[in-house]
Structure 1
Amino acid sequence: MTLDYLTYLISVGLQSVQEYLALHVLMCLVPAFFLAGAIASLFSKESVLKFFGADAPKYVSYTVAAVSGCLLAVCSCTVLPLFAGIYKRGAGIGPATTFLFSAPAINILAIVYTAKILGYDLGAARAFAAVTLSVLVGIIMSLAYERKDTERKPIKTFGEAEHKHSVQLFVLLIVVLIAPELMSSWGWKYTFQILAWAPLIGLTAYLSYRWFSKEEINSWMGETWFLIKQITPLLLLGVFFAGIAVVVLPKEYVAAFVGGNSLTSNFISSIAGALMYFSTLTEVPIIKALTLLGMGAGPSLAMLLAGPALSLPNMIVINRIMGVKKGMTYICLVVLIATFSGYVFGSMFA
């Protein structure tokens, strides 16, 4: 009986993976990977990081810190060394912690995938809350710990020249990414979507080879393949276990702890997200599974904000970089802000 049940659970997980591959890979995830790869290889990170130094006005450094995750294409694992670098090289604790909170949450892959799977309202809310509230986190950290006599140095950067066609390519890749969704909303059949989408892919490929050198194209493809290898196995594993979770977890337990939109349910969701380790994008299928079991919209947003920003390994590293006092202050701020954001969002969509 136990073996039969285990076999049944495995089949459920595999069916979830099969459905996911059929629905979301070709027109959603593959273009997103190419977009993220282009950002990682063709956009100059140094041209962004220079705005964190002492020479930059605060309104500039906070703004760049809050939105640079889109251009830097960082995930929860790669944000820590970047944060450590800019913090130790002269960035104020305010802009540095703004970047630390916002960057993983507005990873272009994460935002696109959240919107596609969980809905555009939740995707937009995730991006908006991460950007705006990360500034609040940074300002509070700055007021609490940044003294006027603290020395801040300019951040030295190298290779700041940006390719003149990078922005045009970015726009083209965005169009490639959103076109299938638009055609679907217009009621086009899948075959017609493919026929209309293929020339757009061809145009993008042609212009890419016209605009960029062979070395730049190879770098782009290398970054894209790296992201695919790094993320896809963990993502499919997350989809597999999320499918099993729908069967195994009692709906009444999920509804009791993270259902509805109370402050308690949002707080529990924030704490759970902070303690769990989400590899890039895996939080989305897990939260999708929990919503099927009764998880509320507010707690979903709370977990989407706290999950990528924190994890047990992440918290240990943060405390080592900033010190325990500053690190714990940042961790508590993230949990409380995620809780509050979830509660407000849930109240709006109740």
Structure 2
Amino acid sequence: MDFVLNLFSSGVAALFDYLSAHVLTCLVPAFFIAGGVAVFISAPAVLKYFGPQANKFLSYGVASVSGSILAVCSCTVLPLFAGIYKRGGGIGPATTFLFSGPAINILAIVYSARLLGWDIGLARAVAAVSLAIVIGLIMAYFFRKDHESQPNPELFTADGGDSRPLWQTLLFFGTLVGILIFASTANWPATVILLATLGVVLWRFFNVDEIKHWLRETWAFVKLIFPWLIGGVFLAGVIKEVIPADIITGAVGSSNIISNALASVFGALMYFATLTEVPILKAFLELGMDKGPALALLLAGPALSLPSMLVIRKIMGNKRAFTYICLVVVSSTLAGLIFGML
């Protein structure tokens, strides 16, 4: 009975630390940004750059960063990937998007940096983008003789129909990002000024229906993600109580090729609900996990899981899916190895 109580106490303590230190200053502004992205940035306007007529440099560039623009998470990236791949986007840009999308959505980057440290958060963003392009180019080279199906013109030519001037949209998102930055660093005077600025921006440039739509989308993100986060944080607290530190330090306590490979394979096989890998990884770090394997898990975890492997295989076929899975594990291992040496 005492053991169960200790586990529960450890989970509750982790929840208390999380709720008191991270939600108001980090995730709340990020949720509002994600909601704004869903409402005010047109998905078709971005996805058209994956088309077969698009410039390759532009296509891979957009594919590697559009996860942050579209705010995709692990539950939405697979159908988007299927749409890109099946409608003529090509296996290169499609797999670039598939790898980077879940890893660089704005919630994942902000949350990783806030909870794990800005060095790991920045490394996650840089590695996800660069490795995504490398993986996409390798896939395109290996399967360059494949004939893709004809693209759906609606997917690649839609302009999104957004008549709002670009500077107004940039001002809106810039203010939100500023609130996130200054709130995270506890600069309350600057945060208050930016909140007032946001109020003026909404009053001058947005109508009531748009604001309501934005708030509804923000709340939808909260309902989708926050319960999983609470569960993940509680589980992380339990893990710290159950797993002896010497097991973690023995397996992934240093940044050698074996420990990074173990972290990559573990991340690839496990299923992490949206963002739950971050508090669980924080628990591993506190138990002695090295930062190299931590990055390897952060890269492989969102990109793969046993359920996603089955879906990817069904979409691409055995040979392409196996190649992609191997590239993810190997590239994540190497990225963790390099990061651990820095």
TM-score scaled by length of structure 2? 0.95
| Counterpart Cα distance in 2 of 1:288 and 1:311 | 20
SS in 2 for 1:300: helix
Aligned to 1:225: 219
Gaps of 5+ in 1: 185-192
What CA deviation, in whole Å up to 9, does each residue of 1:8-59 have, x standing for no partner? 2112111110111000111111000001110111111111000011110111
- State the 1:152 CA deviation: 4.9
The one-letter code matched in structure 1 to 2:319 is K
- State the 1:176 CA deviation: 0.5
State whether structure 2 residue 163 is matched by structure 1 residue 169. Answer: no
- State the 1:196 CA deviation: 4.2
- State the 1:208 CA deviation: 1.7
- State the 1:325 CA deviation: 0.9
What CA deviation, in whole Å up to 9, does each residue of 1:114-141 have, x standing for no partner? 1111111111110000101101100110
* Contact 1:32–1:109, Cα closer than 8 Å, also in 2: yes
Of the three residues 55, 66, 73, the one matched with 2:71 is: 73
SS in 2 for 1:198: helix
Distance 1:214 1:295, change over 3 A: same
Aligned to 1:260: 254
* Contact 1:54–1:155, Cα closer than 8 Å, also in 2: no
Aligned to 1:294: 288
State whether structure 2 residue 121 is matched by structure 1 residue 123. Answer: yes
Question: Which residues in structure 2 correspond to 1:157-306 (within 5 Å)?
Answer: 157=155, 158=158, 160-162=160-162, 163-164=164-165, 165-182=168-185, 184=186, 193-306=187-300
Kindly, what percent of the aligned residue pairs are identical? 50
* Contact 2:253–2:290, Cα closer than 8 Å, also in 1: yes
Root-mean-square deviation (CA, aligned residues, Å) is: 1.4
Distance 1:159 1:62, change over 3 A: closer
The one-letter code matched in structure 2 to 1:257 is A
Aligned to 1:34: 32
Distance 1:232 1:148, change over 3 A: closer
Gaps of 5+ in 2: none
| Counterpart Cα distance in 1 of 2:315 and 2:9 | 44
* Contact 1:246–1:289, Cα closer than 8 Å, also in 2: yes
Of the three residues 315, 320, 328, the one matched with 1:326 is: 320
| Counterpart Cα distance in 1 of 2:147 and 2:25 | 52
Deviates more, 1:22-31 or 1:157-166: 157-166
SS in 2 for 1:156: helix
Aligned to 1:48: 46
Aligned to 1:187: none
Of the three residues 22, 25, 33, the one matched with 2:23 is: 25
* Contact 1:32–1:112, Cα closer than 8 Å, also in 2: yes
Aligned to 2:332: 338
SS in 1 for 2:288: coil
| Counterpart Cα distance in 1 of 2:321 and 2:85 | 13
The one-letter code matched in structure 1 to 2:219 is W
- State the 1:94 CA deviation: 0.3
SS in 2 for 1:138: helix
How many residues align? The count is: 337
SS in 1 for 2:21: helix
Distance 1:81 1:151, change over 3 A: closer
Moved over 6 A (4+): none
The one-letter code matched in structure 2 to 1:92 is G
